[in-house]
Structure 1
Amino acid sequence: MIKMKIVQPLDYLKQIVQIDTTNPPGNELPLAETLKNLLDSVGIPNTLLIHGENRANLIAELVGNKNTDKVLGLSGHMDVVPIGDKVWKYPPFSAHEADGKLYGRGTSDMKGGLVALLYAMIQIKQENISFSGKIKFLMTFGEEIGATGAKELVRLGHMDDVSALVIAEPTNNEIYTAEKGVLWLEVKTYGEIAHGSQPESGVNAIEHMYYLLRGIQEEFKMDVQEDELLGKPTLNISLIDGGVNTNVVPDTCRLQIDIRTIPSQSHQDIISELHKLFKTIQCKVPNLLYDMKIINELPSLKTPSSDSFVQFFQKEAEDFFKSERRLRGIPVYTDGAVLKKTDSTIPVVIFGPGDLSKAHETNEHIEIGAFHRSISFFKQIIKNYLK
């Protein structure tokens, strides 16, 4: 079999960093088509799933020469966060190489991990390495806002045959087996508009939001036992706005809350407790009207340390990197929370090149050496799990 010469991994990473997939709006389709072209060129079967305007998931599958029911899922998202307002050292979509690093939006989160998984799969194919079962690579759109692409893959049944899942989010090549859930809530208060010179004629929605906000800060407690990997749950007041002008009594005010949860918590219980608190405040504040809705919700995720795939992955990492790799928890959400499904026992490991602390930052970058090492490691994982 003739081994087709393809572009080197680092050069390919540079190419896809230069494709702007900022979310919003996403525009992942051009990147998905670029990835598809490479997969087609090396003979790896794949399916492009277009979803709306310029959005798409891409699935690649490689079947081994021995038939088993083992399916190793690999996953990475194609979208990136906005570049922000600060000036970058290098243009954010230039994929500039300097001092052993590659700079650009998405290098760390997570086009570096995506390409590492892709080239591990390609090398398995090109080197004609024998394996059992199937490799299934899920490339998603919309992870940065609600994991929308992952939800679509689950809806269509593309996770139904997966035995274990590896997500190459930036972890500095450390092993993460747990992630916090997310519960984003929007609270609105409603008043009556009036001229600012006659506030007694209206009902001030901002003042009423103040009472709810003070109640959250002083009385709302999430008293749960700290998780050994994820720590404590958190609550952040992330946005507040209201009013139309200085001389007008505001008739609406809006508040958004970012709650990060741990596995022992119920999101419904949290919502119920907030409603209970707000209704108590309503009894004390005349004419206070509010409503509350969920704007984003994903469950927390935790694969037990006793899981056989987790133990396999940990041993492989320690053998490959020649150092201890303890299990960790990540405070953010990934596609894993959706792809796993709440009724599933699929083990999920989050592991990839790149530094999470640099992921959404100005001057985002990835260590080139870590990127190359992760390709070799992912290749080892595939070979040894599906041997």
Structure 2
Amino acid sequence: MHTRLSGERDRPPRTKGRADALDRLDGMPTLDLSLSAADITRAICDIPSVSDDERMLADAIEAAIRPLPHLEVHRDGDTIVARTALGRAQRVVIAGHIDTVPLNGNLPTRDIEIDGEPFIWGRGTVDMKAGTAVQLKLAAELSDPVVDITWIWYDHEEVEASRSGLTRLAATRPDLFEGDFAILGEPSNGQVEGGCNGTLRAVVRTHGRRSHSARAWMGVNAIHAAAPVLARLAAYEPQEIVVDGLAYREGLNAVRVSGGVAGNVIPDLCEVEVNFRFAPSRSGAEAADHVREVFDGFEVEVTDLAQGARPGLDSPIAQDFVRAVGAVPQPKYGWTDVARFSALGVPAVNYGPGDPSLAHHDEERVAVAQIESCERSLRAWLTAG
């Protein structure tokens, strides 16, 4: 495999056939949604929007979308909602988040080639600004779709669920979630990924007694007491559970260990944070009970819990979508906001460009061909073209 990186200086100059979708007006970024979805991807990635810092990108999206006469626009914090009101028999909700995980020297975006195929490299290209770029272009151009559409671009997806723009919107405007079907533009390699695993975080604690480390026999070492916790994790065999024809892989892993107060003190507390990714056949309560059972005899505190979602592929409109895009449905192993729509009785799937295994990766990159393919397929389905 040959990879060639080309920095900003190596990009082709602006021409009539190629331009940057990101410009600046009075020092603020502006978006040109008439350009290609790939150019829009570059533009919105180059506006850094790590969770808690989405305002500038939200402002640029609102400024580009609000003047469009075929859309009703609503803003809640840094979440932008745009809706058609054509009186169609069905409504589809299409959503994408605008925040990313923290940067690690991977902005601005760069054009690269892998075996002669063009990619866009940089933070957010996969998770999930390529999908959001496709949505923005279609929202601007589809003034007469065959279904009514609610477009939602929201903040704070990459942090705890309580801070999500969708959580806030559900409390202030639950009517905006109404629809017959929902599509999340999460990366799925341009395939349809049904439902999602649930996710649970818990802290398993062990306790001891402090003493000077020179007189360790006077204390009880809480870190040593955590050895059985780690042993149970190492011996744990995760299940693969089939739900509505799709096989979901579970996983239970330690993600953080903390303890100790000083280099010469026997620690009296150790905390092992674990993450349980569970199949959507389990409820959140059942997942919590399972974790407590695994760590029976230890103090367990569940600190975060998000329900999974069943595949959502049994409704006629979902089946029509799968046929239209020519996809073979796959399970979504990670948690996504399809779970929010599923909980409201709206069947939802993940569909977007980008390899999910590169999400949050320092070499995050998306194939331009996937961006173009997803745009063509989604456009054709929404226009019955």
TM-score scaled by length of structure 2: 0.82
| 2:184–2:352 CA contact under 8 A, matched in 1 | yes
Distance, in Å, in 1 between the alignment partners of 2:76 and 2:349 is: 25
SS of residue matched to 1:197: helix
Instruction: Verify: 1:121 aligned to 2:147, yes or no.
Output: no
- For 2:149, what is the secondary structure of its paired residue? strand
Aligned residue among 263, 281, 296 for 1:264: 281
Distance 1:98 1:224 in 2: 36
Separation in structure 2 between the aligned mates of residue 268 and residue 230 of structure 1, nearest angstrom: 21
Q: Residue 74 of structure 1 is aligned with which of 88, 94, 108?
A: 94
Give the aligned partner of residue 379 of structure 2.
379
Map residues 99-248 of structure 1 onto 2, 5 A cutoff: 99=113, 100-125=118-143, 129=144, 131-132=146-147, 134-147=148-161, 148-156=164-172, 157-218=174-235, 225-227=241-243, 228-248=245-265
The match for 1:316 among 302, 324, 341 is 324
Mapped to 2, the partners of 1:101 and 1:223 lie a distance apart of: 35
Distance 1:330 1:224, change over 3 A: closer
State percent identity of aligned pairs: 21
Q: 1:223: how far off? A: 6.5
Cα separation, 2, equivalents of 1:46 and 1:149: 16
Distance 2:341 2:346 in 1: 9
Secondary structure of 1:295 counterpart: strand
Structure 1 unaligned regions, length at least 5: 51-55, 85-90, 282-289, 319-324
Who is 1:27 aligned against? Answer: 53
CA contact (8 A) 2:93 2:177 kept: no
Quote how far apart the aligned CAs of 1:17 are: 0.8
Q: CA deviation at 1:138?
A: 1.0
Question: What is the identity, as a one-letter code, of the residue corresponding to 1:79?
Answer: D
Matched residues in 2 for 1:144 and 1:175: separation?
Answer: 21
Partner of 1:12: 40
Q: Write the distance in 2 (CA, Å) between the matches of 1:277 and 1:231.
A: 20
Listed one character per residue, the Cα deviations across residues 161-217 of structure 1 (whole Å, up to 9, x for unaligned) are: 222101111111111112111011112223221111222322221122223333454
Q: Rate the CA distance shift 1:16–1:130 in 2: closer, same or farther, 3 A.
A: closer
Partner of 2:337: 335
Match of 1:285 in 2: none
Equivalent residue of 1:198, what SS?
Answer: helix
Whether the 8 Å CA contact 1:178–1:229 is kept in 2: the answer is no
1:299 matched residue in structure 2: 307
Partner amino acid, structure 1, of 2:157: E
Deviation for aligned residue 1:331: 0.8
Q: Is the CA contact (8 Å cut-off) linking 2:312 and 2:342 kept in structure 1?
A: no
AA paired with 1:116? V
Cα shift at 1:250: 0.2
2:103–2:123 contact (8 Å) kept in structure 1: yes
Tell me: CA distance 1:160–1:359, structure 2 relative to 1, closer, same or farther (3 Å).
closer
SS at the partner of 1:117? helix
CA RMSD in angstroms, aligned pairs only: 2.4
Q: Give 1:105 deviation, angstroms.
A: 0.6
CA 1:111–1:224 in 2, change beyond 3 Å: closer, same or farther? closer
- For 2:251, the aligned partner's letter is T
Task: Give the number of the structure with larger relative contact order, counting CA–CA contacts within 8 Å between residues 6 or more apart.
Answer: 1
- Secondary structure, in 3 states, of the residue corresponding to 1:72? strand
SS of structure 2 residue aligned to 1:179: coil
CA contact 2:312–2:348 (8 Å) conserved in 1: no
What stretches of structure 2 of length at least 5 have no aligned partner? 1-31
* CA deviation after TM superposition for structure 1 residue 292, in Å: 2.5
CA change 1:364–1:276 in 2 (3 A) is closer
* TM-fit CA distance, 1:7: 4.0
Question: Within 2, Cα distance between the matches of 1:269 and 1:101?
Answer: 42
Secondary structure of the 1:230 match is strand
Which amino acid counterpart does residue 139 of structure 2 have in structure 1?
Answer: M
Instruction: Tell me the secondary structure at the aligned position of residue 185 of structure 1.
Output: strand
After TM superposition, list the pairs within 5 Å mapping 1:20-59 onto structure 2. 20-23=48-51, 26-43=52-69, 44-50=71-77, 56-59=78-81
- Tell me the CA shift for residue 339 of structure 1: 3.3
